[in-house]
């Protein structure tokens, strides 16, 4: 899957708005899912704007190019790296492997996954090998990636009342400004 990098916050907002038309076979559309995920992270980590924004955009590749569950995480990371910075990109890139890590290492985790997440788990490679678990454990972003992943899994509540994109636009601009000019 080849998807262009996003060039501006307006482009991110436009893609997220488009997500209202995609449900990815879940009970919530992609925009509602993104907003719920970011809202959960804001409640949990109010000072970590990058983590919240990573939650907001983590499935952006699934909106830009639907039906690519195996690659949407790293593709999404590449899409946002220039605009939103390396840490946001890493957290987006890791969100499918974070699911694989949790299924492999946490006995109770699989039961928390939605039907669709269990289906895509297979396409994403299923359980991690022991060396892959070790590589994940050496990543400095692992704890944050797992926090994002658990917010992602919980952000599938039909009809949940959460702030809309108006709330997130200034946060996106703040993170984009901190990330520096596009190169
Ligand atoms: Fe998601």
Q: What is the pLDDT of residues 143-182, one digit of tens each?
A: 999 999 999 999 999 999 999 999 999 999 999 999 988 7
Mean pLDDT of the chain: 94
Place of tokens 């970590």: 48
Ligand 1 center from residue 61 Cα (angstroms): 11
Ligand 1 center from residue 152 Cα (angstroms): 5
pLDDT at 25: 62
Ligand 1 center from residue 131 Cα (angstroms): 26
pLDDT at 74: 96
By CB neighbour count within 10 A (0-12 exposed, 13-18 middle, 19+ buried), where does 59 fall?
buried
Q: What is the pLDDT of residues 53-63, one digit of tens each?
A: 999 999 999 99
Query: How far does CA 3 lie from the centroid of its chain?
Result: 16
Confidence of residue 48 (pLDDT cuts 50, 70, 90): very high
- pLDDT of 26 higher than 60: yes
Q: What is the mean pLDDT of residues 96-114?
A: 95
Ligand 1 center from residue 10 Cα (angstroms): 21
pTM of the predicted model as reported, rounded to 2 decimal places = 0.95
DSSP string, 49-113: HHHHHHHHHTTHHHHHS-S-TTTHHHHHHHHHHHHH-HHHHHHHHTHHHHHHHHHHH-TTTGGGS
Break the chain into its structural domains and give their ranges. 9-179
Reference 92, options 36, 34, 18, 9; nearest CA is 34
pLDDT at 69: 86
Ligand 1 center from residue 121 Cα (angstroms): 12
Ligand 1 center from residue 36 Cα (angstroms): 10
The alpha carbons of the chain give a radius of gyration, in whole angstroms, of 15
Confidence of residue 96 (pLDDT cuts 50, 70, 90): very high
Contact status, residue 94 vs residue 141, Cβ threshold 8 Å: yes
Ligand 1 center from residue 183 Cα (angstroms): 28
Contact status, residue 56 vs residue 163, Cβ threshold 8 Å: no
Ligand 1 center from residue 120 Cα (angstroms): 11
Ligand 1 center from residue 33 Cα (angstroms): 7
Question: For residue 65, what are its two tokens?
Answer: 């190019």
Ligand 1 center from residue 90 Cα (angstroms): 15
Residues with CB under 5 A from ligand 1 (ion): 59, 152
Ligand 1 center from residue 177 Cα (angstroms): 25
Distance CA 153, CA 42 (A): 15
- pLDDT of 18 higher than 60: yes
CATH number of the structural domain 9-179? 1.10.3210.10
Contact status, residue 25 vs residue 116, Cβ threshold 8 Å: yes
């Amino acid at each position: 899957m080849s998807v262009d990098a996003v060039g501006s916050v307006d482009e991110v907002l436009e893609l997220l708005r488009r997500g209202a038309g995609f449900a990815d076979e879940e009970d919530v559309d992609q925009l509602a899912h993104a907003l719920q995920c970011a809202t959960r992270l804001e409640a949990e980590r109010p000072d970590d704007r990058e983590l919240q924004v990573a939650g907001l955009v983590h499935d952006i590749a699934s909106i830009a190019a639907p039906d690519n569950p195996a690659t949407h995480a790293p593709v999404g990371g590449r899409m946002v790296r220039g605009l939103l910075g390396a840490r946001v990109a890493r957290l987006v890139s890791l969100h499918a492997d974070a699911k694989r890590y949790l299924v492999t290492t946490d006995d109770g985790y699989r039961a928390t996954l939605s039907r669709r997440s269990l289906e895509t788990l297979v396409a994403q490679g299923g359980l991690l090998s022991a060396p892959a678990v070790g590589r994940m454990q050496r990543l400095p972003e692992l704890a944050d990636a797992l926090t994002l992943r658990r917010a992602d899994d919980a952000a599938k509540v039909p009809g949940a009342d959460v702030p809309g994109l108006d709330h997130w636009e200034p946060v996106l601009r703040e993170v984009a400004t901190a990330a520096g000019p596009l190169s």
